Chain A
Amino acid sequence: MTKFNAWNVIKNGLNGQSYWTRQWRDPEPKKNYDVIIIGGGLHGLATAYYLAKNHNIKNVAVLEKGWIGGGNAGRNTTIVRSNYMMPGNHEFYEHSLKLWENLSHDLNYNVMFSQRAHVSLFHSPGAKDSVSRTYNIMRLHGTDAELWDLKKLKKKIPHLNYNNSRFPILGAAVQKRAGNARHDAVAWGYARAADTLGVDILQNCEVTGFTRTNGMIESVQTSRGIIKGKKIGFAVAGNTSVLWQMAELGNLPIESHKLQAFVSEAVKPLLDQVVVYGVGGAHFYISQSDKGSMVFGGDLDWYKSYAQRGNLPMVQDVAEAAMAIFPSLGRIRLLRHWAGVMDMTMDGSFFICKTPISNLYLNAGWNYGGFKASPASGWYFADLIANENPHNYVQNHNLERFEKGINIDERGAGPDPKLHG
């Protein structure tokens, strides 16, 4: 694999770009692996990369039923932030943000991480108090957070609708180090970096069953043959329950819901930040991609579904929210919209944990927040698989927390997965 650096860019520039090698191999599956990660999304690829890099476990396979970057890795709004307040969550997401800050150098791949600020508008004194509490907790833990009053907000983003009488904008809670990144580049960057360290990325390799001996999973049956693994990790987001039942493990505190996102035609620079219309108002978030498209999304479709396509009432809902907050978008045309299957959990927090099968490990339950979490998710999932012990940050992110009564519920919405958006 040719490294990306100034010398190689110049050399290939002079040679008609003919010396670049392919980004990652397309190997045949081996018979045996030390670790098999099921799911070639951002979390699976990041896990494989950190297993190889941090723990020197390089005989690793990533099984992907489709192609790299074709699932939720390509179905998000690319927002990266760490504005969480619950113990475990804020440390975890803050570490993730720190990994993002150096990710391009670490992977030798430009993930176009842009710390353009995440601006959460608030619309009532109660919402201001609530978000101030969260952002104060963040500051106490060393995460950057600030409140912008109306004067500062109007200076920074003058073209919001400041005359909305139903949800008047009173100010914003801001995390300046937050922003967004290029989703494909993250998937390709992790795949390329993991492959360089010896990880086999097996695409078009769908898992169809498991062979169990002595209570352990001995091998995985796939569309590309039977593959043996000493340790197995699940990182399949919305399809976790399907694999879980394939392994005869019963039920999970997860429901699969779909979340839509939208991309408009490209326009000239219009918005420098990620803007969220969500604290005490509707639910809408928007940013502008480097190509100029407006990228935005809203709520879940509100009913359980595995379909990777959205429904029209939510399109209307998102369009209404866009017009309420950003009237200048009125004439813009949509290019595409899509839906991803979210693994919504009963308390809105994720799982990085052991399972009833001793050589099976679970990474799931990312709700709305999978994209920003992917570096830390890979980091701590690799740590769990290698060391057998969950790190302090994720010690309560397990399946037992519900019985123990230590739910990690940021919103306090209760055990209804669709409410944890």
Chain B
Amino acid sequence: MIRINCPYCGERDHSEFSYGGDATIKYPSLDSSEKEWTEAIFFRKNIKGFQLETWHHTNGCRMWLKIERSTVTHEIRSVKPCHPDLQKVVENNK
């Protein structure tokens, strides 16, 4: 079991969460070429090692989180709210 320290709820089992995917994807502007959109939607780095990824606390606070996790050891380095403004709120409440 991976334990994820949700900034809103505290440390929980990963079975409460659902995996979102690569958190570094940047969608291109609407008038970008088909090639750029294909790259953003379908192509992935698929990193072996530490990667930034999103998780949804589906069976908890239902907030989206940005997690730095190793895809080899499953060690988690950091857990943050996806939205940068919410990160400030979490920090101010500490």
- A residues neighboring B (CB under 8 Å): 239, 241-242, 245, 250-256, 302-307, 311-313, 346, 402-403, 415-416, 418
Contact = CB atoms under 8 A, between A and B. Distances in A.
B19 to A, nearest CB: 4
B72 A307 contact: yes
B72 A306 contact: yes
Contacts of A418: 19
B83 interface: no
28 contacts: A241-B46, A241-B47, A251-B39, A251-B43, A253-B42, A253-B43, A254-B44, A256-B46, A256-B71, A302-B18, A303-B53, A304-B21, A304-B51, A304-B71, A305-B71, A305-B72, A306-B48, A307-B71, A307-B74, A311-B2, A311-B14, A312-B1, A313-B1, A313-B13, A402-B38, A402-B42, A403-B34, A403-B38
A307 B2 CA distance: 13
Contacts of A313: 1, 13-15
A304 B53 contact: yes
B41 interface: yes
Contacts of A256: 46, 48, 71
Which interface class (under 10, 10 to 19, 20 to 34, 35 or more) fits B? 20 to 34
Interface of A: prevailing SS: mixed
B92 interface: no
Interface in B1-54: 1-2, 13-15, 18-19, 21, 34-35, 38-39, 41-48, 51, 53
B41 A415 contact: yes
B93 interface: no
Contact of A403 (B35, B71, B73): B35
A393 to B, nearest CB: 22
Interface of B: 1-2, 13-15, 18-19, 21, 34-35, 38-39, 41-48, 51, 53, 55, 71-74
Contact of B42 (A303, A311, A312, A346): A346
A320 to B, nearest CB: 13
Given A251-B46, A252-B46, A418-B19, A311 B71 contact: no
Contact of B44 (A255, A302, A311, A403): A255
B19 A242 contact: no
Contacts, number: 72
Nearest to B72: A306
A227 B66 CA distance: 42
Given A241-B48, A313-B1, A415 B74 contact: no
A303 B72 CA distance: 12
A86 B53 CA distance: 32
A77 to B, nearest CB: 23
Contacts of A302: 18-19
Nearest to B13: A313
A311 B1 contact: yes
A278 to B, nearest CB: 20
Given A251-B39, A313-B15, A305 B46 contact: no
Contact of A303 (B14, B35, B38, B47): B14
Contacts of B53: 303-304
Contacts of B55: 303
Contacts of B45: 241, 245, 251
A251 B43 CA distance: 5
A328 B1 CA distance: 28
Contact of A251 (B21, B44, B73): B44
A239 B71 CA distance: 12
Contacts of B74: 305, 307
Contacts of A250: 43
A313 B13 CA distance: 9
A254 B1 CA distance: 24
Most chain B C-beta atoms within 10 Å of own C-beta, residue among A252, A254, A403:
A403
A302 B2 CA distance: 12
A253 B44 contact: yes
Contacts of B48: 239, 241-242, 256, 306
Contacts of A303: 2, 14, 19, 53, 55
A306 B14 CA distance: 17
A266 B14 CA distance: 33
Contacts of A304: 19, 21, 46, 51, 53, 71
Contacts of B72: 305-307
Contacts of A416: 21
A241 B38 CA distance: 17
B53 to A, nearest CB: 7
A88 to B, nearest CB: 18
A416 B45 CA distance: 14
